[in-house]
Structure 1
């Protein structure tokens, strides 16, 4: 279920609201990285929309405001969500916006573009990768947590995914937040000399030794998850940035990826 932007009235930012369903992080947790907001000339529709959103919440983090497919509205990306606000700043709606002729969800397309941009900032060397022994048919990025039940179920079948030609690239998303015990476990995994073994150990409740690490990518990947609209783990994304949902069994994921590839060719 999509988060309602009106929750911004009660949260410091839409990104902060994204954590509302996860256990609270300790008081010493590091803050979520802020996003640099673009500037807009006074009197423009973009400026009016920005000002209207700030009236709802002075600390809302807006990533972009651009022309929408609907005349008289702007498309806004804020805290991993797409919303539409009228050019005069008086009306706002959130939900599915369907292009009937193209048979596309324009909100999903907008977020897919954002996710592609965010993923491009995350080096492959910082991901935990499971590649097929043979040819790769599809690549998915999976935001995972070592404590999440469905994340563990997905990982149990990792050999079945790769057997079907699916390359899996894991990113870290400790649901309890930065600074939590869950976060420290994931830092230990990503700092291990053998990340794949450490990830499997952590997901099977086997201790992973903590050791000094010059640079852990967990913070960056966690913040990226918030920007990409993560609402739960696992979050599975295709190569184009489209969200495939949460956990999917190997055959179901392959079927979904094959169908999307076929639709893309037809389109």
Structure 2
């Protein structure tokens, strides 16, 4: 979890493998005249804020390379460049401020995202606007954990996650699906999600749509558009998005055992 957290903080891991198409071979080629990789940074002076900044980052993940560290445009922080991302570390090394997907204020001592308490409460309030009966639920008897997952029938990692739904249930995890047609309202994917939510057996329709791509066209009064808007409001940019019971965002696809471990750790830290 430590490396996962830091990678997410620096924007090195997307919250969804479906959110962005893979780069083409041409994209991977360096442009003519492109700058060479930055040289190693000068070793900071012992006891300096720069040294504490580098040490704080290394404590979270020693494999991360700091390309630059120096004064920040705001007092009390150092500015560091890591993997092409700018982050800010407090001069005492106790706090790391980052932006982008999963961004916030990280306490480097406890490895907790201090912004998540506020964001988690906001997410829960938004999720409660969707009636329980509008969720497609795959749950074991007496689940240990329950997660909300924004999903799409076209997303590869959404399909992979659903292929393993029995494994999640075997780990004691109940999965409550909400719709997030990532191409947007009115798209073919949106219409497919509407058809699933209008099916007499939503669970079977969702499973068939994910496994075969076949969707029987249907229409009815539904909340798919509402679910999509809630997904946007909670900060979703791709699918799947996993949200724990306390509103914490756990990122995109995680194998069943990894998700169970993350939920267990989250519950222990809250306790």
TM-score class, shorter: 0.5 to 0.7
Q: What SS does the aligned partner of 1:236 have? A: strand
Q: What SS does the aligned partner of 1:122 have? A: coil
Say if 2:147 is the partner of 1:160. no
| Structural mapping, 1:126-145, within 5 Å | 126-132=134-140, 134-145=141-152
Cα distance change on mapping 1:123 and 1:251 into 2, 3 Å: same
Match of 1:197 in 2: 204
| Structural mapping, 1:1-267, within 5 Å | 94=99, 95-99=103-107, 104-132=112-140, 134-213=141-220, 215-265=221-271
Could you tell me how far apart the structure 2 residues matched to 1:184 and 1:115 are?
25
Q: Number of aligned pairs? A: 180
Could you tell me how far apart the structure 2 residues matched to 1:185 and 1:151 are?
15
Could you tell me how far apart the structure 1 residues matched to 2:218 and 2:106 are?
49
Contact 2:194-2:218 within 8 A present in 1 as well? no
Contact 2:148-2:178 within 8 A present in 1 as well? yes
Give the greater-gyration-radius structure (CA).
2
Cα distance change on mapping 1:3 and 1:101 into 2, 3 Å: closer
Residue 212 of structure 1, CA deviation: 3.2
Cα distance change on mapping 1:219 and 1:233 into 2, 3 Å: same
Could you tell me how far apart the structure 2 residues matched to 1:208 and 1:183 are?
12
Alignment RMSD, CA only?
2.5
Structure 1 residue runs of 5 or longer lacking an equivalent are 5-20, 24-92
Which digits, 9 at most, give the CA deviation of each residue in 1:19-52, with x for residues without a partner?
A: xx679xxxxxxxxxxxxxxxxxxxxxxxxxxxxx
Contact 2:243-2:249 within 8 A present in 1 as well? yes
Q: What SS does the aligned partner of 1:220 have? A: helix
Q: What SS does the aligned partner of 1:170 have? A: strand
Which digits, 9 at most, give the CA deviation of each residue in 1:190-226, with x for residues without a partner?
A: 000000010011112342222231x111000000000
TM-score by length of 2: 0.61
Cα distance change on mapping 1:22 and 1:177 into 2, 3 Å: farther
TM-score by length of 1: 0.62
Q: What SS does the aligned partner of 2:250 have? A: strand
Could you tell me how far apart the structure 2 residues matched to 1:247 and 1:22 are?
14
List structure 1 segments (4+ residues) > 6 angstroms apart after TM superposition. 1-4
Could you tell me how far apart the structure 2 residues matched to 1:232 and 1:2 are?
17
